[in-house]
Amino acid sequence: MRGRSIPDAFLANASFLALLLLFTGSPSIFQHCFARREFHHRPPPAGSHHPPPPAPVMQPPPSPASSSTFSVLDYGAVGDGATDDTKASAFGDAWSAACAVRASKLLVPASYVFLVGPITFTGDSCEPNMAFQVDGTILAHAAGSTAWNSGAVTQWLEFKNVRGLSIQGCGAIDGQGSEWWSGGSVTGDAKIGANVTVMGITIRNSPRFHLTLDTCRAVEVHDVAVSSPRDSPNTDGIHLAASVGVSIHHSIIACGDDCISIQDGCSDVFVRSVHCGPGHGISIGGLGKSGATAFVSDVTVQDITLNQTTTGVRIKTWQGGSGSVKNVRFTDVRVSAVKTPIVIDQYYCDHATCTNQTSAVAVTAVAYQGVTGTYTERPVYLACSDAAPCSGIQLADIQLSPVKDNSGHHLQGPFCWKAYGEVVHPVEPPVDCLRAVAP
């Protein structure tokens, strides 16, 4: 398995940057699916300093009367979980047929399991407003299968250049990742993205990231469940790259890496009412690897619960990069047995040693407003760069205490290095190391 690239479970790629019209599909299907998830929404606390940014503009759903349904069963899919349903081109043909019709529906019917190899669904010549309705299960081939083209594939289900696509339903997308995880080699570099709404579905056991949105505009992901084990490497829940106007809400994410990862080129990202755990928490970065320039701005993360994650809300940058992270707000974040709830790490390094360098991706205007709950190691860790100290950090209404049963945990106090900003009481424990003024 060494050297094999690891495919991301599911991705959507849009190479043009215009605004996406979002369609919500059938509300009744959505409510039915969501009934089994249990995210309890809490309103944002009073006294939030800014109103939440608007979610992407929603358009009315297409008229059901105008839609036609194309079931993969009618295009030769078997759905027995053993026959390769990409070989007979069932998915490709159903996609092409649905594509030719405005507001159509490609149906992956319930009670079937479709074994599917790597496939790209290209929307260039599609009529707009298609629904990709997943009510059954789409299953990836096991790691050693020849379907993976000698491991050259870095993505599994790719949606490219799609307009107004809604990926929806009560079904599951299952990446069968366990054999990849034990393979231990992660070389995949999937470029992925979307111009779509993703709702209702479950995405589980990806070999690598579960859902990636790359080069997307006005995307909405909601009522989605992501599930893979705590020890599955590099299995980010939702990975965002170069995407603007993304709304992720009412979703439940359990995985072995970042719950939501926000990378270079992302702005106007709104994450609300999401539960994370296990996993590594919600992360901006790592940015600036190998001297890269990276920009992330205008990110709001609100009404979040994190249970047993390694970090809560984190910004991580490599030494030697340039660019900035700015205007970030973490509001109403509830942590439970999280190792380190609040983290800025401008010395991020995922291997043993990284050489010291002077430049850094700057971090400015980051507010933490209402972060409460329990930690197992350290409440606050703000390790900022000597060359580019963090500025405009606000800690307001922080109530963090050690887990009750902290046996086996080595508790540490808040840590700051070159971190500047303000503390708005109450902040418990006190974070005296956050200095008011940059020198």
Ligand X SMILES: *[C@@H]1O[C@H](CO)[C@@H](O)[C@H](O)[C@H]1NC(C)=O
Q: Does 339 bind ligand X (CB under 6 A)?
A: no
C-alpha 238, offset from chain centre: 2
Paired tokens of 154:
């870095």
Q: d(Cα 281, Cα 376) in Å, to the nearest integer?
A: 14
* Distances in whole angstroms, Cα of residue 300 to Cα of each of 303, 330, 363: 10, 6, 15
> Would you say 204 or 208 has its CB closer to ligand X?
204
Q: Which of 6, 9, 11, 14 binds ligand X (CB under 6 A)?
A: 14
Contact flags string 400-439 toward ligand X, x per CB under 6 A? ----------------------------------------
* Rg of the chain on CA atoms, in Å: 22
Q: Does 353 bind ligand X (CB under 6 A)?
A: yes
Residues 223-242 that bind ligand X (CB under 6 A): none
Give yes or no: 40 in active site: no
* Distances in whole angstroms, Cα of residue 60 to Cα of each of 98, 210, 329: 21, 28, 30
DSSP one-letter code for 136: S
> Would you say 216 or 393 has its CB closer to ligand X?
216
> Would you say 195 or 385 has its CB closer to ligand X?
195
**Contact window for ligand X (CB under 6 A) among 239-247, 288-296, 349-357, 393-401:** 349-357
Residue 33's φ and ψ, nearest 5 degrees, are -65, -40
Paired tokens of 180:
């990849």
Q: Does 359 bind ligand X (CB under 6 A)?
A: no
Q: Does 18 bind ligand X (CB under 6 A)?
A: yes
Q: Does 336 bind ligand X (CB under 6 A)?
A: yes
Give yes or no: 257 in active site: yes
The string of DSSP letters for 207-275 reads: SS-SEEEES-EEEEEES-EEE--TT-TT--SEEEES-EEEEEEEEEEE-SS-SEEE-TT-EEEEEEEEE
> Would you say 4 or 339 has its CB closer to ligand X?
339
**Contact window for ligand X (CB under 6 A) among 48-56, 170-178, 183-191, 351-359:** 351-359
**Amino acid occupying residue 323:** G
Q: Which of 355, 436, 437, 439 binds ligand X (CB under 6 A)?
A: 355
Question: Which of helix, strand or coil describes residue 65?
Answer: helix
Of 399, 400, 396, give the one whose Cα is nearest residue 338. Answer: 400
**Contact window for ligand X (CB under 6 A) among 13-21, 89-97, 100-108, 416-424:** 13-21
Q: Which of 61, 128, 392, 402 binds ligand X (CB under 6 A)?
A: 128
Q: Which of 9, 12, 21, 427 binds ligand X (CB under 6 A)?
A: 21
Residues 293-312 that bind ligand X (CB under 6 A): 307-308
Cα-Cα-Cα-Cα torsion 360, 266, 254, 380, nearest 10 degrees, comes to 40
Which one from 222, 264, 280, 303 is the annotated catalytic residue?
Answer: 280
**Contact window for ligand X (CB under 6 A) among 36-44, 86-94, 158-166, 425-433:** 158-166
Which one from 85, 257, 258, 264 is the annotated catalytic residue?
Answer: 257
**Residue 262 beta carbon to ligand X: minimum distance, rounded to whole angstroms:** 20
* 8 Å CB contact between 398 and 426: yes
DSSP E strand stretches across 128-189? 131-134, 137-140, 155-160, 165-168, 172-174
**Contact window for ligand X (CB under 6 A) among 11-19, 39-47, 237-245, 266-274:** 11-19
Q: d(Cα 154, Cα 167) in Å, to the nearest integer?
A: 21
Q: Does 16 bind ligand X (CB under 6 A)?
A: yes
**Residue 15 beta carbon to ligand X: minimum distance, rounded to whole angstroms:** 7
* Distances in whole angstroms, Cα of residue 219 to Cα of each of 55, 199, 235, 243, 251: 10, 11, 21, 8, 15
> Would you say 63 or 356 has its CB closer to ligand X?
356
Q: Does 195 bind ligand X (CB under 6 A)?
A: yes
Q: Which of 140, 162, 201, 266 binds ligand X (CB under 6 A)?
A: 162
* 8 Å CB contact between 169 and 135: yes
Catalytic residues: 257, 280
- Interacting residue ranges for ligand X, rule: CB under 6 A: 14, 16, 18, 20-21, 128, 161-164, 195, 307-308, 336, 353, 355-356
